[in-house]
Amino acid sequence: MAISYCDWLPSQMSSSTLTLLFVLLGTLCSFIYFFSSPNRNKNGRKLPPGPAPLPIIGNIHMLGNLPHQSLHYLAKKYGPIMSIMLGKVPTIVVSSPEAAELFLKVHDVVFASRPKVQSAKYFTYGGKALAFTQYGSYCASKVECFAPIRKSDVGLLVESVRKVAAVGETINLSLAVAKVLEEMMSKVLFGRSMDDKIDFKLLVDEALHLSGVFNLSDYVPFLAPLDLQGYTRRLKKASSGLHEFFDKMIDEYQQGINMDDQKPYRSFFQLMVSMLDTPINPNNEDQPYIFGRENIKAIMVDMVAASFDTTSTTIEWTFTELLKHPRVMVALQKELEIVVGRNRMVEESDLPKLAYLDMVIKESFRLHPVAPLLIPHESTEDVTVNRYFIPKKSRLLVNTWSMGRNPKIWSSNAEEFFPERFKDRKIDLRGHDFELIPFGTGRRGCPGMQLALVNMRIILAQLAHCFDWELPGGMLPNELDMTEKFSLSLPRANRLLVKSTYRLIA
């Protein structure tokens, strides 16, 4: 496995500065290592096995550009419960369903916290958006009432693809899908479309990237003032862009501008602003905690980051696999023809009858989990798991990408896209079956799962039903680029370009 240093060293640094830095680091390393060598047997208590850490940086140098893959290969050597050091932070990497169940179900309470990282400091004012579960029911219970938005926005997507198809041009499907989801989620979250003048997607992409990267400042705090990777500078810029944006929205809302209150639902943002300056804990007079602007902005940043990109990334990968496996695309279109017929578009009421579509989606999640390491958890106390000692404030990474490719779980064709494997296997996505947990599970599981699944099903079904698809320039399915790009989510590294032909009789 190639090890890449480029992600954690600044490319613009001159070689003399680097040499000086390494000499200084070397001296400091030897000094600190001498006094605080990490010990796999803490007071006779055994930590899980793992690779030997270097002084100061621990195992960060082993992560490379695609940490989920590097950790997958390391786990083959050290096992499904592995310990590594990220700087001075003890980190547990879990890579099997049995181990995931131990940490996320048996010891869920201990591992339900999130670490305090630089990205949270800047984007969410040091974690002022932490009360996610409180709002979870919002995402889940409103799925039905957003059906008209889905119908009209997915209809517009089909129209735009149809126009491009009519003139025989190539379409950037990644962008088209990302746009429709941005539109749909903006209406759900803000009650309106995004302001065209601001490239909101660019800001969100940057936020996701910076929240996903392994930032040296989080693991080796004494290096933070040097900002060696340039992430602090970028965090400041991206967070102030997002906060300005939300400040403007709160102002507009308070002045009654741009808000249409005639809708049959109340947007998430309206709900938040209606709580502005009210006490969160009205029954506690000693410690009145007021729900302020910073809380709203922090929560909105988290909601946007959690919802905009995740669904479009999954659709992008599912479509990539459908194009790579024309047999599966044909089988899906056949199911749609039987259930829906060629004379009309798909309706949401058709979705429960599309069993093969569900298998395709599960198979896509198995090979391309959007959050390959979930979102890092943190332990709140010392705990013993499977006879291993896990110290308080350990970070927990659950490698769902690795679990999805394990031949012991998925048989020898684990690397193959084969939706039929779910035919006789009762596995659902709600977190009961630890082989497949793309939405996480337990206290920190995804509260937006139901909404995300409906959005995915309707967009995928509509695109597969309304069009026949081919790759541009005579490209063969097996030539399709499958390169991943690591951030908090795991999108394709390059956009998906395709050609289509309208196939409905109307």
Instruction: Find the binder of ligand HEM among 306, 329, 339, 340 (CB under 6 A).
Output: 306
Min separation Cβ 233 and ligand HEM, Å: 26
Instruction: Find the binder of ligand HEM among 96, 119, 311, 487 (CB under 6 A).
Output: 311
CB nearer to ligand HEM: pick between 306 and 466: 306
Min separation Cβ 188 and ligand HEM, Å: 7
DSSP for 243-283 reads HHHHHHHHHHHHTT-S--TTSSS--HHHHHHHTTTEES-TT
CB nearer to ligand HEM: pick between 47 and 94: 94
Q: Which of residues 451-490 bind ligand HEM (CB under 6 A)?
A: 451-452
Instruction: Find the binder of ligand HEM among 67, 372, 438, 491 (CB under 6 A).
Output: 438
CB nearer to ligand HEM: pick between 220 and 306: 306
CB nearer to ligand HEM: pick between 153 and 227: 153
- Cα–Cα distance for residue pair 261/267, rounded to 1 Å: 9
CB nearer to ligand HEM: pick between 229 and 310: 310
Report phi then psi at 481, rounded to 5. Answer: -70, 130
Stretch that binds ligand HEM, among 167-175, 214-222, 419-427, 447-455 (CB under 6 A): 447-455
Burial of 318 (0-12, 13-18, 19+ CB in 10 A): buried
Task: Examine residue 310 and tell whether it contacts ligand HEM (CB under 6 A).
Answer: yes
Task: Examine residue 117 and tell whether it contacts ligand HEM (CB under 6 A).
Answer: no
- For residues 168, 172, 178, 183, the Cα torsion angle rounded to the nearest 10 degrees is -40
CB 461 within 8 A of CB 336: yes
The residue number with the shortest CB distance to ligand HEM is 448
CB nearer to ligand HEM: pick between 232 and 462: 462
Stretch that binds ligand HEM, among 132-140, 202-210, 321-329, 344-352 (CB under 6 A): 132-140
CB nearer to ligand HEM: pick between 57 and 189: 189
Question: What Rg value do the Cα atoms of the chain yield, rounded?
Answer: 24
- 3-state SS string for 390-416: ECCCCEEEECHHHHHCCHHHHCCCCCC
Stretch that binds ligand HEM, among 18-26, 87-95, 302-310, 340-348 (CB under 6 A): 302-310
- Cα–Cα distance for residue pair 324/318, rounded to 1 Å: 10
Residue 446, annotated as binding a ligand: yes
Task: Examine residue 372 and tell whether it contacts ligand HEM (CB under 6 A).
Answer: no
CB 46 within 8 A of CB 389: yes
464 three-class SS: helix
Min separation Cβ 452 and ligand HEM, Å: 3
CB 227 within 8 A of CB 217: yes
Q: How far are the Cα atoms of 139, 193, 391 from residue 186, in angstroms, in the given order?
A: 13, 6, 41
Largest CA distance in the chain: 76
- Cα–Cα distance for residue pair 134/378, rounded to 1 Å: 19
Residue positions forming the annotated binding site:
446
Interface contacts to ligand HEM, rule CB under 6 A: 132-133, 139, 302-303, 306-307, 310-311, 314, 370-371, 374-375, 438-440, 444-448, 451-452
